[in-house]
Chains A and B, each alone.
Chain A
Amino acid sequence: MNPCIQCGMCSGSCPYGESLDFTPRMLVLMSNFGEVRFTDTIWLCSSCYLCTFRCPSRIKITDEVLPKIREIALEREVPEELSRTLMNIMRYGNPFGLPQRERVGWVKELEFEVPFLEDVKRTDVLFIPGCYGSYHSRCREVTKTIARLFRMMDLDFAVLKGERCIGDHCRLLGEFGLFEELAAKNVKLLNRYEFNKIVTPDAHAFNSLKNEYPKFGLSANVLHHSQFFAENIENFEFDKLDYKVTYHDPCFIGRWNGDFQSSRIILERIGVELVEMKRNRENALCCGGGGGGIWLDSLVRSKVKERLSERRVREAYELGVDVIVTSCILDIPMFEDAIKVLNLDVRVMDISEIMMEALR
């Protein structure tokens, strides 16, 4: 039994609340009585964590109540785009259905060599780009930028050829079995080598590596790249950039892991003009990509008037900024697509990309 007081804070907070057939409040209530009803709007939740963050009874709606209902839904009817993606992860270890050996294909696009941990066995920083950072053409640009920044720092770092999907979305989608297998495989691989810390630009991978993987036997110091660069900011000499920017707090860095500062420290250091969106920090609006949302584009479109990513870029655009800065790698395709749909003129940059631009 969860201690729900049926206050409705969760339903009121849910950014897709008006599109849900069963609101979080109803789902929490039903799960107390063992008979849960749901429809395909169960897939709309993008794990933004607002409901859970605000719940006065501290019920784990996003990471426990909802995934358990989704676990049942998975055995019934799954939207095709989602089943295809999960099958890809099961078969190929990434949501795109691309071959494993292409995971480190971006390394060849660099002007210097990046060692593989499988070869060198030990390193200071293990860099885990995650699936989007490894395979997605736009996100790979971020991965390469980070590698170049590491290089500028003379950092001893390496990547893994055998990295597989970290699996945070699978877990939140209720595909617990798949998540457990991915975690077990990844941990087995990680434990074979020596490194001092893991750095990843994927906020979702970061969350799982930091908070879930210890249950599978990983004991590592896990940092998000924004945290790593904020800690090492003294290594960089920036030229002041004459940009007006806003910063989007990724759910999995902000609300999920309580870090609202790292990227802002970097931006302040670069010297750009930072203006805040109305919904910022713990109240930030989600990009819609989490909890599998990035794979459910058609379903989302059929259910909602305007996607979260569109609402978010509109909110940013109204501030008259040149750049929307983010630090979650999924935000980049989410926001860039939304900008195309809305026909707006604003750039999206990862925190590492704006760092690089200020270094030139």
Chain B
Amino acid sequence: MILVYAETFEGKISDVTFELLRKARELGDEIWTVVIGNAEIEGLGASDKVIHVEGERFNNPALHRYVLRKLIEKYKPKKILIGNTPIGIDLALGIMPTLVSCVDLDSKAKVVSYGGKVFVEVEFEGIYLINRGSFEPLKVDGEVEVEKVSIDVDKEIELLDVIKPEVDVDITKADVVVGVGRGAQNIVDLAEDLAESLGGVVGASRPLVDQGILPPSRQVGRSGRTISPKLYLALGISGAMEHVEGVKAKNVIAINKDRKAPIFRISRYGVVGDVEEIVPLLLERLR
């Protein structure tokens, strides 16, 4: 049996759960999905059974590791799939081997480690903390058997408050950052639309911040923030060293007039062209 941990926050199942279900289905074993806390159970049709541990107290994600520990002792699953997220990472346990930053698991598990500089293949069975975006989500509506289980946890961790982000965005935490440089200063509005359609935010190089076009919280680079999104779309950014130092993105796509612009040295895909021409066309297609 494979146990999939449904990450919930404020009563909603997080998207990463459906990615885990895709892989669990592929593995072919029976799937039990565990939902901890009060949450609306939906889209879990890919699992054979849902274990629901209810209770106001378990709306506190910090207690989930103790609930999971008891469930493991009770049901003895072979594999446990958890999203490698800020909540998921705390579910690494001392009672069962845990593999962190997993990107695939078949006969062997694959892990990205050493800051992305090394891939590791390992014989493993236990708790897999799986990176977001490793699998296509599998969200299936429909009836699933739900078993309500009650669990007692003795650890004293109390949730006092949930702090929501302040009005301005935190570019260091975004999955997609659309970067605007001097070459894109006339299309900042379009860049905002583009970012919005990709579920991301707009970052900027220094000149745009200095000109007051965007606030300092948006500045990427040495004197700004370091970003590590899945995608950094660099528009009209030449890629001066001071800027590039702050870009630790998985993928960089750059659009720039100058084929020799240093930004292309850190890019996976490049377009040599005018952002004012290409961005509107791109936006039409991504909206």
Are the C-beta atoms of B223 and A137 separated by less than 8 Å? no
Assess the A341–B211 pair: CB atoms within 8 A.
yes
Cβ contacts under 8 Å, B216 to chain A: 298, 301
Question: Main secondary structure on chain B at its contact with chain A?
Answer: helix
Per-position 1/0 for A135-155, Cβ under 8 A of B: 011100000000000000000
Q: Which of A137, A298, A340, A341 has a CB less than 8 Å from the CB of B241?
A: A137
- In the assembled complex, the Cα of A220 lies from the Cα of B156 at a distance in Å of 68
Contact A297 B241 (CB under 8 A): no
> Bound state CA distance, A333 and B206, in angstroms?
13
A137 touching B210 by the CB < 8 A rule?
Answer: no
Inter-subunit contact A81/B223 (CB<8 Å): yes
Tell which of B206, B207, B224, B262 touches A137, judged by Cβ atoms closer than 8 Å: B262
Tell me whether A109 is interfacial, beta carbon within 8 Å: no
| B residues less than 8 Å from A337 (CB atoms) | 206-207, 240, 242
Assuming the contacts A81-B222, A137-B262, asked whether A301 and B210 have C-beta atoms less than 8 A apart, the reply is: yes
Are A340 and B182 CB-contacts (below 8 A) given A96-B245, A136-B241, A333-B242? yes
Residue in B closest to A135 when the chains form the complex, CB atoms: B241
Q: CB distance B182 to A297 under 8 Å?
A: no
Main secondary structure of the interface of A (DSSP, over half): helix
> Quick one: CB contact mask for B85-129 with A, threshold 8 Å, 1 for yes?
000000000000000000000000000000000000000000000
The reply to whether A297 and B240 form a contact with Cβ atoms under 8 Å apart is no
Q: What is the minimal beta-carbon distance from B267 to any residue of chain A, in angstroms?
A: 15
Whether B223 lies near A341 (C-beta < 8 A) is: no
User: Which parts of B200-216 form the interface with A (CB within 8 Å)?
Assistant: 206-207, 210-211, 216
Which residues between 64 and 118 of chain A lie within 8 Å of chain B, taking CB atoms? 81, 96
Nearest A residue to B182 via CB reads A340
Q: Which residues of B contact A (CB under 8 A)?
A: 182, 206-207, 210-211, 216, 222-224, 240-242, 245, 262
Question: Other than the known A138-B241, A337-B242, A340-B206, what 17 A-B pairs have Cβ atoms closer than 8 Å?
Answer: A81-B223, A136-B241, A137-B240, A297-B206, A297-B222, A297-B223, A298-B224, A301-B210, A301-B216, A301-B223, A333-B240, A333-B241, A337-B240, A340-B182, A341-B206, A341-B210, A341-B211
